[in-house]
Amino acid sequence: MLNITTFLDANACRLSKPVFHCPDRDLYYTSGEILSIVSGIGEKLIQAGVQKGDRILIFLNNSPEYLFSYLAGWRIGAVVVPTNRIYTKFEIAYMIENSGAKMVITDASGAIFLEEMQCESKSNSNDFQFDLQNVSVYVPDPAEIEKMRKHPVLPPACVTCDDLCQIQYTSGTTGKQKGAMLTHGNWLAAISNECDVMAFSETDVYLGIYPMGHVGVSWGISALRAGALYIMMERYELEKYLNLIEKHQVTALSGMPPVIHSLAGCPPGTEDRIRTVREIISGGGPLHHEIWKKFHHRYGIPVVNAYGLSETIVIGTGTAIRPPDYAFADKFQSVGHPVCFSEVKIVDELDCSKTLTQGEVGEIALRGPAVAKGYFGYPEETKRVFLPDGWFLTGDVGYLDKDFRLCLTDRKKDMIVMSGWKIYPTEAEEVLYRCPAVKEIAVFGVSHPHRGEVPAAAVVWADAGKTENTDELLAFAKEHLAGYKIPRKVVTVSDLPRVGGWKLLRRELREKYNGKIEFENL
Ligand code: ATP
């Protein structure tokens, strides 16, 4: 038997210091108070008819209510479906329907949003279908939650390692979001590996910026488990982030590649503001070597580059490059060795029964205790990627280097095939980031009548006013990239499209520019 929330009971007995802080409301909570509030909300859910195995979808912004509802769902044996308020009506309608949610937990404006969706669906049934008839809506009241700090403790629901506790929708970077079915046992592995990799302890102060709807929030839950102080940012803003680091003497940081990028370019003096940080996590997307190098030279803070997916609760089963190994990571996209109890292998992209040897590029497969049970409501896709012998086909392409470190090449779906030549956008970007004219760049494929596909690039320029930017980039590309990898078209953008502001959405660039780009001499 295992209910993952029992770490709260264990911590409540021995720790009286605050372990969770919401800076926007200046609120602090001890483990005992979290346990009480989670119990209070858990009781409310039970009174509203939620039973073991029922799906409850959380549609909130990062907030204490979010964290407490998440844990309350687990406490009573329900299945939590974490989402974000940034999702559109189409995405939310799909997730409610696909997960078969019995309840939606949201705030007052979220409840209005749902009502409007319902009305719209009734008035225009062809365009948009949504029925809330069998779904109850619960709006936790922050004032009422504050009164639950001493609520009697609710015993944890009796569940096994194999029982579902979550349906985690993938980010939708490459296509339709799929609901990965995660269990209490998966979470046990994730928390144990994250505590191990970050060496979280009670003296740590962890600043978390991942949206609660993304599986990256597991780092915050792991910090809680370790009895560290977990500070949750409602929304990432660089200056606020730096102020919080300074004020709370933060020791462990969640930073995604764009955050590490902005830190690398911060004004002089920032070194002093973040001097208490002993490690920073990067994950969810490639940390380009050029950015990593700049960050490393300026701050010398180890970057834990962690590789995993929603389907593996980040590094519940995955790999990580970490100190002291990270000092050798100055090669193309190494994400290190497998974490505890994880196995990694490279298989032929067309025949997954063929295992490739070191140095050979193929699809990355992972096996270990945090691999999800499959995709909810997608038996065919589940069968295709969750293999009977426990291996999970990630859809990422990479290879093992001579020291068995995993190196990522790209995502299978992002690969561009031009007249039979394979082009990996991340590899091309890795080189083009070194061009001084470039601030941010994304390479993507667009279809071409004779060549199949050709690479194009969307660029945010370091100096947008310079007229010769494109010429400079193309000259740089000609010098450093093989001819077939050079972007055939360069478009200027003010921002790159990203999921929730951080995960690059190459798919959106493809959709936007496909068929709309004129090519000369091709
Ligand atoms: P979808 O499956 O819907 O397209 P997604 O795969 O982007 O969405 P996530 O589970 O959030 O959803 O992201 C996992 C992916 O993120 C991995 O498959 C990999 O491509 C990328 N990724 C994760 N960590 C790293 C890392 N450290 N370096 C490079 N890429 C990473």
**Distance from C-alpha of 414 to C-alpha of 146, rounded to nearest angstrom:** 47
Lowest mean pLDDT among 97-106, 125-134, 285-294, 359-368: 125-134
pLDDT in tens, 230-254: 999 999 999 999 999 999 999 999 9
Domain membership of residue 474 (yes or no) is: yes
Q: What is the pLDDT of residue 329?
A: 56
Domain membership of residue 508 (yes or no) is: yes
Q: Is 174 in the pocket of ligand 1 (CB under 6 A)?
A: yes
Q: Is 306 in the pocket of ligand 1 (CB under 6 A)?
A: yes
Distance 137 CA to ligand 1 centre (A): 31
If you average pLDDT over each of 310-314, 326-330, 418-422, 513-517, which comes out highest? 310-314
Distance 334 CA to ligand 1 centre (A): 15
Q: What is the pLDDT of residue 521?
A: 55
Q: What is the DSSP letter of 375?
A: B
Which one, of 64, 16, 57, 63, lies nearest residue 38 by Cα? Answer: 64
Q: What is the pLDDT of residue 198?
A: 96
Domain membership of residue 497 (yes or no) is: yes
Q: What is the pLDDT of residue 122?
A: 77
Distance 488 CA to ligand 1 centre (A): 27
Q: What is the pLDDT of residue 393?
A: 97
pLDDT band at 327 (very low <50, low <70, confident <90, very high): low
Taking all residues of the chain, what is their mean pLDDT, rounded to a whole number?
A: 92
Q: What is the pLDDT of residue 332?
A: 53
Q: What is the pLDDT of residue 330?
A: 58
- % of the chain exceeding 70 in pLDDT: 97
Instruction: Please check the confidence at residue 170 and state whether its pLDDT lies above 60.
Output: yes
Q: What is the pLDDT of residue 313?
A: 97
Q: Once rounded to an integer, what is the mean pLDDT over residues 367-390?
A: 96
pLDDT band at 131 (very low <50, low <70, confident <90, very high): confident
Q: What is the pLDDT of residue 237?
A: 93
Q: Once rounded to an integer, what is the mean pLDDT over residues 23-28?
A: 97
- Domain harbouring 475, CATH code: 3.30.300.30
Q: What is the 3-state secondary structure (H, E, C) of 298-358?
A: HHCCCEEEEEEEHHHCEEEEEEEECCCHHHHCCCCCECCEECCCCEEEEECCCCCCCECCC
Q: What is the pLDDT of residue 128?
A: 66
Q: Is 211 in the pocket of ligand 1 (CB under 6 A)?
A: no
Q: Once rounded to an integer, what is the mean pLDDT over residues 147-165?
A: 98
| Mutational test site, ligand 1, from 83, 84, 91, 170, max ligand atoms within 8 Å of CB | 170
| Mutational test site, ligand 1, from 259, 310, 427, max ligand atoms within 8 Å of CB | 310
Q: Once rounded to an integer, what is the mean pLDDT over residues 292-305?
A: 91
Instruction: Please check the confidence at residue 514 and state whether its pLDDT lies above 90.
Output: no
Domain membership of residue 491 (yes or no) is: yes
Q: What is the pLDDT of residue 364?
A: 97
Structural domain harbouring 484: 416-513
- Return the axis-axis angle of helices 31-47 and 64-75, rounded to nearest 10°: 70
Q: What is the pLDDT of residue 410?
A: 86
Q: What is the pLDDT of residue 220?
A: 97
Q: What is the pLDDT of residue 520?
A: 61
- The residue to which tokens 């929330």 are assigned: 5
Q: Once rounded to an integer, what is the mean pLDDT over residues 203-223?
A: 95
Domain membership of residue 245 (yes or no) is: no
Q: What is the pLDDT of residue 125?
A: 59
Domain membership of residue 436 (yes or no) is: yes
If you average pLDDT over each of 93-102, 419-428, 445-454, which comes out highest? 93-102
Q: What is the pLDDT of residue 9?
A: 98
* Distance, CA of 392 to chain centre: 18
Domain membership of residue 476 (yes or no) is: yes
Q: How many CB atoms lie within 10 A of CB 280?
A: 22
Task: Supply angle C-alpha 446, 451, 456, rounded to 5.
Answer: 30
111, two tokens: 């409840």
* Distance, CA of 478 to chain centre: 34
pLDDT in tens, 458-505: 999 999 888 899 999 999 999 999 899 999 999 999 999 987 777 888
Residue nearest to atom 29 of ligand 1 (CA): 286
Domain membership of residue 489 (yes or no) is: yes
Q: Is 171 in the pocket of ligand 1 (CB under 6 A)?
A: yes
Q: Once rounded to an integer, what is the mean pLDDT over residues 96-119?
A: 94
Q: Is 394 in the pocket of ligand 1 (CB under 6 A)?
A: yes
DSSP string of 185-201?
HHHHHHHHHHHHHHT--
Q: Is 284 in the pocket of ligand 1 (CB under 6 A)?
A: yes
Q: CB within 8 A of 224, min separation 6: which ones? A: 7, 8, 11, 19, 20, 31, 34, 230
Q: How many domains does the chain have?
A: 1
- The residue to which tokens 């009506």 are assigned: 89
pLDDT: which is higher, 146 or 403: 146
Q: What is the pLDDT of residue 270?
A: 97
Q: What is the pLDDT of residue 290?
A: 85
Instruction: Please check the confidence at residue 297 and state whether its pLDDT lies above 80.
Output: yes
Distance 61 CA to ligand 1 centre (A): 22
Q: Once rounded to an integer, what is the mean pLDDT over residues 36-53?
A: 98
Residue nearest to atom 31 of ligand 1 (CA): 285
Q: Is 285 in the pocket of ligand 1 (CB under 6 A)?
A: yes
| Mutational test site, ligand 1, from 171, 219, 382, max ligand atoms within 8 Å of CB | 171
**Ligand 1, closest atom to CA 286?**
29
If you average pLDDT over each of 4-13, 123-132, 400-409, which comes out highest? 4-13
